[in-house]
Chains A and B, each alone.
Chain A
Amino acid sequence: METVKVQDVAVDDLPWTIEYHSERCTLCGSCLASCTFGAIKPVVRRQSVTVSEGNQPKPAHRQIARTIIEQVASFANACRGCGMCERVCPNHAIRPVRNPDNRRTLLSRDSGPIKRGGRTNLNAQRTLDKIIVGRISQMTDPSLDAQRHTFDMRAPLGRVLSARELPFSMTDGHITMTHKAPPVRWIYPLIFSDMSIGALSTRAWEAVAMATAYLNERCNIPIRMSSGEGGMPVKLLESEHLKYFIIQIASGHFGWNRIVKALPRMKVDPAAILIKIGQGAKPGDGGLLQAEKVAPHVQAIRGVPKATLSSPPNHQGLYSIEESVQKMHLSLNAAFGFRVPVAIKCAASSTSVSVYNNLLRDPYKICGGLFLDGIQGGTGAANEVSLDHTGHPIVSKIRDCYLAAVRQGLQGQIPLYGGGGIGLTGNAAADAFKMICLGANGVFCGKILIQLLGCVGNEHGRCNSCNTGKCPTGICTQDPRLVKRLDVDRGAQKIVDYVLAFDSEMKKLMAPIGNSSLPVGRSDALVSTDKAIADKLGIQYVC
């Protein structure tokens, strides 16, 4: 008889358990090869079997030693529910099953705080689904036809001056510009947001980049992609395609050596520079790239040795918003000859409105956009406590910022982009449209892009192992064998198809409210079935 050892980790302590049917299993080993986490192992067990092999029934009872698949009872090798084993098993003999009685949060802190990637698993509430586009043109005015009419779906990125500040002069009934105004790009209202090479495999990053180029050059959709912290391949920096990219600079300044060196050889300007102050998924937690993922090419692009790379939670030397404006904005603006908008990305926070107000009032007028990232954003690696317990929902924050600008008559001067949970349920167009009606100029999204590439992570604790270097889909890892799992071309195609559908769906939403350009701030087009949400956002409550 075995002794009960309650302190040992058992399979039923783990968040996922394996459902295995040995009678269907042919021991092909596919599942073992597919599982990147070492969560299953082959073991030999004694089994009693009864067989009857002759022409007449003649059951015989035997004890045999037999190889079966078993789950590893350890948190380091815990099954992540990624389902790769299920995908590859030709006989439907194995699959992961969620274990609601697991004790993960209690037992897996043996070596410090729990680290993982992915997204929040606690705060996945969906405000946007309680909002409906409720003001439909009926009788009073004709709605438009999504197929027939043309739609002007463009969003500004760059510092917009008030009409009185425009450098205009009048000659013979014509306005001319006396000098240049700050650069403003009119781009697609959906931005592929910052996922670095390093966090992503080079191939996954390439897939997103390919989709970006294709959408621009073949589909007339001027979508922009942010590089993420960690630089860009020099080839791309020196190519014509650079104009589709927003280069990010974060607190670690990774990759900027190369970028600065490439400056004289850039053929075109990048779309924008994005200063990342914080990230919605883990505000206050700096960037984190665990040594497992710092492969040689990542070392090259970032200019670092193989080690865990942490970006500090703050830009060193930035003690105030004013200073940030002066130092970073000015120097980055100057670096690109004031031809490239410089925007800023912050984690949404109770203080976002003050930040926005400060930027709006900045006398230099050089902040070209505020990207606010909500708690439902994604990350490659973070402390779970940050992921689940810090951050701020994005919907009301965008609204608050917009209304703060409205009160001062400054709406539209610093474009607002909202992200963090856009497309959480797969319906990015509806989410984007509602955010825009509430005051965003556009939205940015990252997680849905990698989900389109094949990522199986979700808000309910599935996978979220992006920090481990063992990404089962080859997206978030630098392991060359795993990266092979990702078909770059098909992945890029998926993203393109999704954006084309997004584009049609946006039109399907603009047409019935009778708008041919983006309804920024058209809160009158929205209603909510939730009184508290309606009150908070200042839209009509309906039931």
Chain B
Amino acid sequence: MMCRIGAIKSKNPVQPSMALRLMLPQQEGHDNSGFAMVMQDLYGVFGLYKDKPLLSMACTQQGGHLVEEYMDAHRFVKMSEWLPVPDKRKGLNIQTMPYYIFRTYDYPEYVTDPDEREALLLDTRLALRQMLTETGQGYIYSFWPDVLTLKEVGDPMDIATYFHLWDDNGCLVAKNIIVQSRQNTNYEIIRYAAHPFFLQGYTLCANGENTFYTKNKEFQSSLFRGYIGFESDSQTFLYTLHYVLHELKWPIPYYKHVITPLPFSEIEHREDKDVLLSIRQSLAHLEINGPNTIIAGLPDGRMMTCCDSKKLRPVVVGGDENTVAIASEVCGINEILPDRDTSKDIYPDEREIVVIDNDLEVKRWKQ
């Protein structure tokens, strides 16, 4: 799938219009078939509820009822809700759903353990998703504290108009935004196929093609219950990220060793060759091939990016002391951060993984 991806990480909370401006100049790279973003570390209307799980969904009226019933039955307590008031002017290129619901809940009183809570949020999202899919009544995008997901099919600029994202009205504000404008070549336009994808605090979008999709998918399907859907070949990147970091608890640089392992001829000469070979052979089915760039957000708010082992798809990181942006093309960053020192822009190479931590310090690891 060809699309354009980007991310903004800022010390000062920013509004979605900035993400839109990041994507606008990159427009030639996509066909305006959709727009999606995940916001994390929220201020604005959700600023008060940072520790409460936030449900992001698009549904019919009946879908809304089904979800409410389910949440009540499972003793989730509704805390707050934000319903965007849409701009229904004529001529917008957008395929809307009747309702967009963003709602925070308090955990049921019977779960207090953090790990159990994580598991419960995932199981709840999966159950809601299954229910809405079976009934055809809507889509659940994320259910996690301090994370909001908005996705729709149509022209990104019109989608922004519809949701008043140009207005900078202070409702949706966040320190981290990961965003995608899509070019959909391979699949029918399915809402779940739009990145960024989300799983237990991990957000990821990718630009490219994963030719090892089938083997990734076959392997992941039995690795973890949350690895489902597979509507897009890029979902596999998220699941591998989640598996390596969350399930195996390996340090971040090993993600790169899993998805684009070093050639055997190079591993041979490494001091840690036993480790690298073990990883390569045990997770051979998580290797990716094909041209790719990945931008991901981690549960603690850090962001990372890397690209395929031949650097067939580019990515660039640039910023100033308050804001760092990542984008497929540098023109996007020029738009939002024209005054930054461009000599400090980073074009990660095929062996690199770049992590931006919460005080915007950039760490680069060579594989």
User: Contact between A166 and B278 (Cβ–Cβ < 8 Å)?
Assistant: yes
Flag whether B222 is at the interface (Cβ < 8 A): yes
Flag whether B73 is at the interface (Cβ < 8 A).
no
Which residues of B have CB within 8 Å of A161? 278, 282
- The answer to whether B251 and A173 have CB atoms under 8 Å apart is yes
- What B residues does A177 contact at CB under 8 A? 274-275, 278
Instruction: Please report the C-alpha to C-alpha distance between residue A530 and residue B74 in the assembled complex, in whole angstroms.
Output: 51
Do the beta carbons of A520 and B215 come within 8 Å of each other? yes
Chain B residues with CB under 8 A of A141: 208-209, 211, 290-291, 312
Residue of A176, A411, A519, A520 near B275 (CB, 8 A) is: A176
B264 CB within 8 Å of chain A: yes
B254 surroundings in chain A (CB, below 8 A)? 175
Decide if A163 touches B291 in the complex (CB within 8 Å): no
Which residue of the partner chain, among A162, A176, A409, A524, contacts B214 with CB atoms under 8 Å? A524
Report how far A520 CA is from B284 CA in the complex, Å: 9
Chain B residues whose C-beta falls within 8 Å of the C-beta of A160 in the assembled complex: 281-282, 284
Q: Contact between B264 and A186 (Cβ–Cβ < 8 Å)?
A: yes
Q: Which residues of A contact B214 (CB under 8 A)?
A: 521-524
Cβ-defined contact, B310 with A522, below 8 A: no
Q: Is A91 an interface residue (CB 8 A)?
A: no
Q: Would B185 and A166 count as touching, CB distance under 8 A?
A: no
Whether a CB of chain A sits under 8 angstroms from the CB of B186 is yes
Question: What is the predominant secondary structure among interface residues of chain A facing chain B?
Answer: loop
Interface 1/0 per residue, A95-111 and B, CB below 8 Å: 00000000000000000
Rounded to whole angstroms, the CA-CA distance of A399 and B269 in the bound complex is 35
What residues on B are CB-neighbors of A299 within 8 Å? none
Alpha-carbon gap, A150 to B310, bound state (A): 10
> Is the C-beta of A253 less than 8 angstroms from some C-beta in chain B?
no
CB-based contact A175/B250 at 8 Å: yes
Across the two chains, which residue of chain B brings its CB closest to A161?
B282
CB-CB under 8 A from B264, the residues of chain A are 152, 154, 186
Which one of A137, A149, A173, A184 lies within 8 Å of B281 (CB-CB)? A184
Known contacts A142-B291, A154-B264, A514-B211; A412 and B284 CB within 8 A of each other: yes
Q: Which residues of A contact B215 (CB under 8 A)?
A: 411, 519-522
Q: Which residues from 119 to 159 on chain A have a C-beta closer than 8 Å to any C-beta of chain B?
A: 137, 139-142, 144, 149-150, 152, 154, 156
Point out the residues of chain A lying under 8 angstroms from B284, CB to CB.
Answer: 156, 160, 412, 520
User: Does B309 belong to the interface (CB within 8 Å)?
Assistant: yes
| Residue of B with least CB distance to A163 | B282
Is A338 located at the chain interface by the 8 A CB criterion? no
CA distance A515 to B243 in the complex (A): 23
Pair A517/B289 contact, Cβ less than 8 Å:
yes
Chain B residues with CB under 8 Å of A523's CB are 214
Task: Assess whether A181 is interfacial by the CB under 8 Å rule.
Answer: yes
The answer to whether A522 and B278 touch (CB under 8 A), given A173-B253, A409-B219, is no
How long is the Cα–Cα vector from A181 to B278 in the complex, in angstroms?
8
Question: What mask results when residues 225 to 242 of chain B are scored 1 for a CB within 8 Å of chain A, else 0?
Answer: 000000000000000000
Q: Is A513 interfacial (CB 8 A cutoff)?
A: yes
Residues in B253-305 with C-beta less than 8 Å from chain A: 253-254, 261, 263-264, 272, 274-275, 277-279, 281-285, 287, 289-291
- Compute how far the CA of A160 lies from the CA of B277 in the bound complex, rounded to whole angstroms: 10
Any A CB within 8 A of the CB of B2: yes
B218 contacts the other chain (CB 8 A)? yes
- Check B248 for interface membership: any CB of A closer than 8 A: yes
User: A177-B278, A409-B222 in contact; A524/B213 too (CB < 8 A)?
Assistant: yes
Minimum CB–CB distance for A542 against chain B, Å: 17
Q: Which of B208, B222, B272 interacts with A407 by CB under 8 Å?
A: B222
In the complex, what's the smallest C-beta–C-beta distance from B257 to chain A, in angstroms?
9
A513 touching B211 by the CB < 8 A rule? yes
Query: Given the interface contacts A149-B310, A409-B219, does A166 sit within 8 Å of B282 by beta carbon?
Result: yes
How far is the CB of B287 from the nearest CB of chain A, in Å? 6
Given contacts A173-B253, A520-B215, contact A140 B222 (CB under 8 A): no
List the A side residues contacting B283 at CB < 8 Å.
163
> Which residue of chain B lies nearest to A516 when distances are taken between CB atoms in the complex?
B289
Does B79 interact with chain A (Cβ within 8 Å)? no
Chain B residues with Cβ under 8 A from A407's Cβ?
222
CB neighbours (8 Å) of B2 from chain A are 140
**What is the bound-complex CA distance between A487 and B272, given in angstroms?**
45
Q: A7 — which chain B residues lie within 8 A by C-beta?
A: none
Min CB distance A445 to B, Å, is 23
How far apart are the CA atoms of A519 and B287 in the complex, in Å?
A: 10
For residue A174, CB closer than 8 A to chain B, the reply is yes
Are A521 and B275 interface neighbours, CB within 8 A? no
Q: CA of A514 to CA of B279 in the docked complex: distance in angstroms?
A: 23
The residue of chain A having its C-beta at the shortest distance from the C-beta of B215 within the complex is: A521
Complex alpha-carbon distance, A359 and B330, angstroms = 52
**Bound complex: CA A139 to CA B278 (Å):** 35
Chain B residue with Cβ nearest A515? B289
Residue B212 CB within 8 A of the other chain: yes
Residues of the B chain whose Cβ atoms lie less than 8 Å from the Cβ of A180: 274
Contact B309 A516 (CB under 8 A): yes
List A contacts of B253 (CB < 8 A): 173
**Bound-state Cα–Cα, A149 to B185, Å:** 26
Q: Given the complex of chains A and B, what is the CA–CA distance between A411 and B287 in angstroms?
A: 14
- Least CB distance from A108 to B in Å reads 50
Cβ-based interface call for A406 (8 A):
yes
- A residues contacting B by CB (< 8 A) are 137, 139-142, 144, 149-150, 152, 154, 156, 160-166, 168, 170, 173-177, 180-181, 184, 186, 406-409, 411-412, 513-517, 519-524
Chain A to chain B contacts (Cβ below 8 Å), 14 pairs: A140-B185, A140-B209, A150-B263, A166-B278, A175-B250, A176-B272, A184-B281, A186-B264, A513-B211, A515-B289, A516-B289, A523-B214, A524-B213, A524-B214
Further contacts, 8 of them, CB under 8 A, given A140-B2, A156-B281, A181-B274: A140-B186, A162-B282, A170-B250, A184-B277, A406-B219, A408-B222, A409-B222, A519-B212
Closest 6 CB pairs of A and B: A409-B222, A141-B209, A524-B214, A521-B215, A173-B251, A514-B211
B residues bordering A, Cβ < 8 Å? 2, 185-186, 208-209, 211-215, 218-219, 221-223, 243, 248-251, 253-254, 261, 263-264, 272, 274-275, 277-279, 281-285, 287, 289-291, 309-310, 312
